[in-house]
Amino acid sequence: MSFVEYGDTIKDGDTAIVFLGHESMFPVKVQHGTVTQTKYGVIRHSTDLIGKKYGSKVTCSKGGWVFILHPTPELWTMNLPHRTQILYSTDISIITMMLELKPGSIVCESGTGSGSLSHALIRTVAPTGHLYTVEFHQQRAEKARQEFREHGVEHLVTVTNQDVCKNGFGVSNVADAVFLDIPSPWEAIGHAKSALKAEGGRICSFSPCIEQVQRTCLAMEEYGFTEINTLEILLRVYNVRTISLQIPDLGKAAEDNSSSGFDSSKPSHQGSPCANLQQGTVQFKSGVPLREVVGHTGYLTFATKS
Amino acid sequence: ECFKCYSLFCSFRKIIFEKQWFYLDNAIGHIYGTTFEVTSGGNLQPKQEVEEATTETKEAGTDNRNIVDDGKSQKLTHDDIKALKDKGIKGQEIVQQLIENSTTFRDKTEFAQDKYIKKKKKKYEAIITIVKPSTRILSTMYYAREPGKINHLRYDTLAQMLTLGNVHAGTKMIVMETCAGLVLGAVMERMGGYGSIIQLYPGGGPVRAATSCFGFPKAFFEHLHEFPLSKVQSLLCGAWSAEPEETPLLGEESNGLGEEKQQEAEEEAAAETAMESSPAEEPDTVEEVSEEVECKENKEKENKENVREKQMKQWERRKKLKEAAALLREKNADGLIVASKFHPTPLLLSLLEFVAPSRPFVVYCQYKEPLLDCYTRLRERGGVINLKLSESWLRNYQVLPDRSHPKLTMSGGGGYLLSGITVLLEQGRAEGSTPEAPKLEEPSSKRCKLEELP
């Protein structure tokens, strides 16, 4: 396996995702002789994982079972160890499209943070593109390098440990796209411009606060960027539920059993349309919004250098 | 932004766009992103960066308490303006004249003046920027201009699909779409010519009007396969073969194809007028069809060479069809993308059979209800986990000093997605390969329980 190439079977050294149930999963590094504890019991890597197909059901020691999944940037985003606040797949998807990324693209990113976006960028630009990512925090930079090695993508990425606002991306005139997720992006717009190819490219800046956006837009305009556009994207997830609503008793049912025909929920499925009336409920399927949802992640400002 | 235009290079052709007509000849040789002014005679002239005519001492009011709408603030009449236009005076100068002849302009606030100028510029300055096609450009354009052709798939929803589907170079993807080929094009862009795509199509052939707008190199089409949706069931139960049905199939096929090509041509023509862009290079198959039609007409004096050519092409087509069938039969695809006008449930229940375990799939539907049904049926079937029904919201912002706020209008809906990951089906289940039969065995109910418990 690698994060840019699917494999069929689980091998020693792979990073695999253990799926326990709805939204409950974690990554494991597969190693001969190692065991992993889950709430359903122990998984022995040598016998339970290595050589098995990805997508297999693995029975744990207590009789419970889990699924073992092939890693993807999206699964990694949901399971990675946080060293910083991270970008999630919803924002990542619009960033990828609006920056026009594809195989062969050269991208500059700062900061690397926990590498959530980095993995997605690398996946998209592989096998011929490259990611130059800049992280001013030394430990985080080192940790990111280590992860890229473990995930089999180190040849597609260069991690530089420096301050992007002072020293830029360490490359010039090579990038098709630049992404900024730093507290003061307006200080890096000049460096972004020189990192982009002479013939132009796209830029995106992610900021939680509108004041940051304002300063960034002014800087972009000052440096001659065009098509400046700010947007926000939010994901709404629905739970699928079967709902029953009780029919109120208006004192009618007894006398008027030719019925109002109101209960038409599933007349064709049930031979007797009265069945539901007798139970006094109507059933239907609904997509119910979660009780609490993400209301804001950040504003995304895009622009073009041409 | 409404001056965004996409067009393939094609000289000596008159283009009509946003009530403007012009020739593209002068654009050749300029880099993408160049902005042009339309001059008299429809010629394009690269726009020079002009110093904004800033009036030295900017006069502006503070509020509008004394501004009365009497309809007489503009001293120029309609006829005056028309006369200016007919004289071929530059848009910029017309705007300047409008400002000078507006009695209320100086009393407007600075922001209102800005807004006034912007509005007039948009109307009188004919400016066109030529940009390179990309999923970003084409999907925003289709959503704005032809949403009906792409089942109202908003561009951010398409972006989610590509990410949730983990579309990338080197994969083997199955795509079933009725979005004019836009989704196919988006997938092709992300795969960059590496890997393979099998497009399943309803009717006589795949519609790829939008795909051709991307201007992909020929090599991208070498590993693009297509297979008719109507043969999926026979392929699944092992009854499919390219040979036995040969004669009837071929007749039907060439007819179907002819029709389809016509439809495609229409589609393209419609897209052309809609987008007011020049058509893509005609796919070479169009030629092929016209030859075929001709061939039929001249049946009497059937010339041997034509027949041979026709046979060659049929043989070629059958070979491609067999290749696609073989790829599907391996049942090891790396993902499934569905975005069509059809009910998603039967598509998913059948097409998931072709996908390897531990791979993502995404279904788009303009409406939520069919996806509720699909969700339930997939749960019953088993072999899928992490099912998620979602919708994305997109909000655009105006960002200007002291005037930042969300844009006044936003899109009401961009459709819904159902996504998930395949897993190995239980032994015995996979054998039957009858996904229709409701499965109520112990493991599936157990799984439901497992997944529903938080």
Q: Is A115 assigned a ligand-binding role in the annotation? A: yes
B156 touches chain A (CB under 8 A): yes
Is B277 within the bounds of a domain? Answer: no
CA-CA-CA-CA torsion for A192, A196, A200, A203, nearest 10 degrees? -40
d(C-alpha B192, C-alpha B214), whole Å: 12
B12 touches chain A (CB under 8 A): no
B199 and B230 housed in the same domain? yes
Q: Which residue of chain A is at minimal alpha-carbon distance from B423? A: A55
Q: Is A114 assigned a ligand-binding role in the annotation? A: yes
B177 and B321 housed in the same domain? yes
The per-residue pLDDT for range B159-171, each reduced to its tens digit, is 999 999 999 999 9
**Tokens in use for B135?**
């999923």
B159 and B102 housed in the same domain? no
CATH of segment(s) A9-71:
3.10.330.20
Mean pLDDT value across residues B288-316: 70
Tokens 């030719």 locate to A258
B41 and B189 housed in the same domain? no
Q: Contact at 8 Å (CB) between B360 and B335? A: yes
Total-model pTM: 0.83
Q: Is A163 assigned a ligand-binding role in the annotation? A: yes
Is B208 within the bounds of a domain? Answer: yes
B356 touches chain A (CB under 8 A): yes
B164 touches chain A (CB under 8 A): yes
Q: Domain total for chain B?
A: 2
Whole-Å CA distances, A227 to A176, A306, B84, B376:
16, 10, 30, 43
Chain B closest CA to A40's CA: distance in Å?
Answer: 11
- Secondary structure class of B50 (helix, strand, coil): coil
Whole-Å CA distances, B311 to B217, B251, B284, B292, B307:
28, 12, 17, 11, 6
Tokens 């043989």 locate to B315
**B155 or B246, greater pLDDT:** B155
- According to DSSP, the residues that pair with A106 across neighbouring strands are A130
Q: Which residue of chain B is at minimal alpha-carbon distance from A94? A: B159
Mean pLDDT score across all residues of chain B: 79
Q: Which residues of A fall within a CB distance of 8 Å from B190?
A: 102-103, 124
pLDDT at B101: 84
B218 and B78 housed in the same domain? no
Q: Contact at 8 Å (CB) between B165 and B188? A: no
B122 and B141 housed in the same domain? no
Q: Is A232 assigned a ligand-binding role in the annotation? A: no
Say if the Cβ atoms of B31 and A236 lie within 8 Å.
Answer: no
d(C-alpha B264, C-alpha B250), whole Å: 20
B181 and B146 housed in the same domain? yes
Sequence-ordered alpha helix ranges (H) in B215-303 = 232-236, 246-275, 284-297
The per-residue pLDDT for range A165-198, each reduced to its tens digit, is 999 999 999 999 999 999 999 999 999 999 999 9
String of b and e for A110-129 (b: at least 16 CB within 10 Å)?
bbbbbbbbbbbbbbbbbeeb
Tokens 């501004």 locate to B67
Q: Is A48 assigned a ligand-binding role in the annotation? A: no
- According to DSSP, the residues that pair with A131 across neighbouring strands are A107, A157
B109 and B171 housed in the same domain? no
Out of A23, A97, A199, name the one closest to residue B136 (CB): A97
Q: What is the spatial order of strands in the sheet that A15-21 belongs to?
A: A24-29, A15-21, A65-69, A57-59
How many Cβ atoms sit within 10 Å of the Cβ of residue A62?
11
At B350, which CATH number?
A: 3.40.50.150
**Tokens in use for A259?**
């019925």
B-interface mutation test, from A153, A238, A266, A299, most B Cβ less than 10 A away:
A238
Q: Is A168 assigned a ligand-binding role in the annotation? A: no
pLDDT at B83: 84
Say if the Cβ atoms of A214 and B368 lie within 8 Å.
Answer: no
Out of B194, B359, B390, name the one closest to residue A103 (CB): B194
B22 touches chain A (CB under 8 A): no
- According to DSSP, the residues that pair with A177 across neighbouring strands are A107, A202
B372 touches chain A (CB under 8 A): yes
Is B40 within the bounds of a domain? Answer: yes
- Secondary structure class of A302 (helix, strand, coil): strand
Out of B190, B360, B395, name the one closest to residue A231 (CB): B395
The one-digit pLDDT tens for each residue of chain A (306 residues) are 889 999 999 999 999 999 998 779 999 999 999 999 999 999 999 999 999 999 999 999 888 899 999 999 999 999 999 999 999 999 999 999 999 999 999 999 999 999 999 999 999 999 999 999 999 999 999 999 999 999 999 999 999 999 999 999 999 999 999 999 999 999 999 999 999 999 999 999 999 999 999 999 999 999 999 999 999 999 999 999 999 999 998 887 555 555 445 544 444 444 444 445 556 899 999 999 988 888 899 999 999 998
d(C-alpha A35, C-alpha A49), whole Å: 10
B76 and B221 housed in the same domain? no
B110 and B144 housed in the same domain? no
Q: Is A8 assigned a ligand-binding role in the annotation? A: no
B317 and B405 housed in the same domain? yes
Say if the Cβ atoms of A240 and B375 lie within 8 Å.
Answer: yes
Q: Which residues of A fall within a CB distance of 8 Å from B394?
A: 94, 231-233
How many Cβ atoms sit within 10 Å of the Cβ of residue B353?
20
- Secondary structure class of B15 (helix, strand, coil): strand
Q: Which residue of chain A is at minimal alpha-carbon distance from B195? A: A5
The per-residue pLDDT for range B93-151, each reduced to its tens digit, is 888 888 888 888 888 888 888 888 888 877 777 778 888 999 999 999 999 999 999 99
The per-residue pLDDT for range A260-280, each reduced to its tens digit, is 455 444 444 444 444 455 568
Say if the Cβ atoms of A240 and B356 lie within 8 Å.
Answer: no
B219 and B331 housed in the same domain? yes
Q: Contact at 8 Å (CB) between A170 and A144? A: no
Question: Percent of chain B having pLDDT more than 70?
Answer: 73
Domain locations in chain A as residue ranges? 9-71, 75-233+295-305
Range of the domain at B328: 135-239+309-425
Q: Which fold has domain A75-233+295-305?
A: Rossmann fold (3.40.50)
